[in-house]
A = this chain, B = another copy of it.
Amino acid sequence: MKGASLEILKHNHLSVTESRKKILDLFLANIGALAHADIEKNTGEQFDRVTIYRTLQTFVDKGIIHTIPTADNSVLYALCKDECEQGHHHDNHIHFICDACNITICIDHITIPELKLPKGFAPKRRDVVVSGICNRCN
């Protein structure tokens, strides 16, 4: 488990740096999604804000993490599952946001039912954001 971040970086042809390893480790250690501020805090302000922005962008580009649409439009990032390839994310995402503890988690093993859209609409990616009370607060 210790070299997981390293593996992921190498697999994505990214140079291995302190910031990338630590930030990726954070995602691996966390169930929930992370905001930029979370990362800044959890790395002990070890890295420049700009570095964190760029690292997150790089990870998104490579398909390692993805952004989550939120109702309050804060920017959240979460790990992609293996099915996500560079530039070609897994098309169905369910995210659960807990109103109590405010955690945001990806629920990957549940499939989104087909949606019948009006004529002419060609859906590609579907994001479902469910909010309520999570299993740990319930």
Q: Which residues of A contact B (CB under 8 A)?
A: 67-75, 94, 96, 99, 107, 110, 112-136, 138
Contact = CB atoms under 8 A, between A and B. Distances in A.
B123 A130 contact: yes
B113 A107 contact: no
A88 to B, nearest CB: 14
Task: Decide if the interface of chain A is mainly helix, strand, loop or mixed.
Answer: loop
A111 to B, nearest CB: 9
Nearest to A123: B132
Number of copies: 2
Q: Which of A94, A120, A127 has the most CB of B within 10 A?
A: A127
A135 B118 contact: yes
Contacts of A126: 128-131
A94 B115 contact: yes
Contact of A69 (B113, B122, B123, B127): B127
Contacts of A75: 73
Contacts of A70: 69, 73
B131 A124 contact: yes
